[in-house]
Copies of this chain bind each other. A is one copy, B any other.
Amino acid sequence: MLKSLFFPKSVAVIGASQQPKKLGFEILANLVKSGFKGNIFPVNPTAENILGLKAYPSLNHIITEGLEVELAVIAIPAKAVLDCLEQCALCGVRAAVIISAGFRETGHAGLLAEMEIAKLADQHGMSVVGPNCLGIMVPGSCLNASFAADMPIDGHVAFMSQSGALCTSVLDMSLELGLGFSRFVSLGNKAHLNELDFLNAWESDDDSKVIMAYLEGIANGTKFIEKARKITKTKPIIAIKSGSTNAGSRAVSSHTGTLAGSEQAYEAAFKQAGIIRANSIRHIFDLIIAFAWQPIPAGNRVAVITNAGGPGIMATDAIERFGLRVAGLSDETLQKLRKALPPAASVLNPVDVLGDALADRYEAALGIVAKDPNVDAILTILTPQIMTEPEKTAEAVLKASRDSGKTMIASFIGGQRVKAGHDLLMANHLPNYQSPELAISALQAMHYHSVWRSEPLPVFELFAIDRDKIRQVFSRVRQDKRLEIGESEAREVLQALDIPIPLSKLCKDPEEAADFAESIGFPVVMKIASPDILHKTDIGGVRLGISGRQEVRDTFDLITLRTQRFMPEADIWGCMVQKQVQGNAEVILGMNRDPQFGPLVMLGLGGIFVEVLKDVSFRIAPFSRAEAEAMVSELRSSAILYGVRGRKKLAINGIVETILKISQLVTEFPEIVELDINPLTVFEDGKGVMGIDMRLVLSSQNQEFKHD
Tell me the A residues contacting B by CB distance below 8 Å: 21, 26, 106, 147-150, 161-166, 168-169, 172-177, 214, 216, 240, 242-244, 279-283, 307-311, 313-314, 317, 344, 355, 383-387, 413-418, 434-438, 608, 611-613, 636-637, 639-640, 644-645
Contact = CB atoms under 8 A, between A and B. Distances in A.
A438 B280 contact: yes
B281 A435 contact: yes
16 contacts: A147-B386, A161-B310, A162-B310, A165-B383, A165-B385, A166-B383, A169-B384, A172-B414, A280-B314, A280-B437, A281-B314, A281-B434, A281-B435, A282-B437, A608-B639, A613-B613
Contacts of A177: 415
Contacts of A311: 163, 165-166, 169, 281
A242 B309 CA distance: 11
Given A21-B387, A280-B436, A613-B637, 8 more contacts: A148-B386, A150-B417, A161-B310, A162-B310, A165-B309, A168-B385, A244-B317, A612-B639
A612 B386 contact: no
A553 B361 CA distance: 78
A346 to B, nearest CB: 11
Choose among A344, A435, A644, A645 the residue with the greatest number of B CB atoms under 10 Å from its CB: A435
A173 B413 contact: yes
Contact of A640 (B173, B435, B612): B612
User: Number of copies of this chain in the oligomer?
Assistant: 2
A169 B383 contact: yes
A175 to B, nearest CB: 5
A176 B415 contact: yes
Contacts of A612: 636-637, 639-640, 644-645
Contacts of A308: 163-166, 169
Contacts of A309: 163, 165
Nearest to A417: B172
A91 B506 CA distance: 102
A110 to B, nearest CB: 12
Given A216-B313, A355-B164, A644-B612, A169 B282 contact: no
B216 A310 contact: yes
Choose among A281, A313, A344, A437 the residue with the greatest number of B CB atoms under 10 Å from its CB: A281
Contacts of A645: 611-612
A383 B415 contact: no
Contacts of A280: 314, 435-438
A172 B438 contact: no
B282 A242 contact: no
Given A413-B173, A416-B175, A417-B149, A384 B310 contact: no
A267 B259 CA distance: 30
Contacts of A644: 611-612
Contacts of A414: 168-169, 172-173, 176
Nearest to A311: B166
* 10 nearest A-B pairs in the assembled complex, by CB-CB distance: A165-B308, A163-B310, A176-B415, A172-B414, A280-B435, A169-B413, A280-B437, A243-B313, A165-B383, A172-B415
Contacts of A279: 437
Given A283-B435, A311-B165, A434-B282, A384 B636 contact: no
Contacts of A242: 310, 313-314, 317
A385 B317 CA distance: 40
Contacts of A216: 310, 313
A541 to B, nearest CB: 16
Contacts of A385: 165, 168
A176 B422 CA distance: 14
Nearest to A281: B435
Contacts of A436: 280
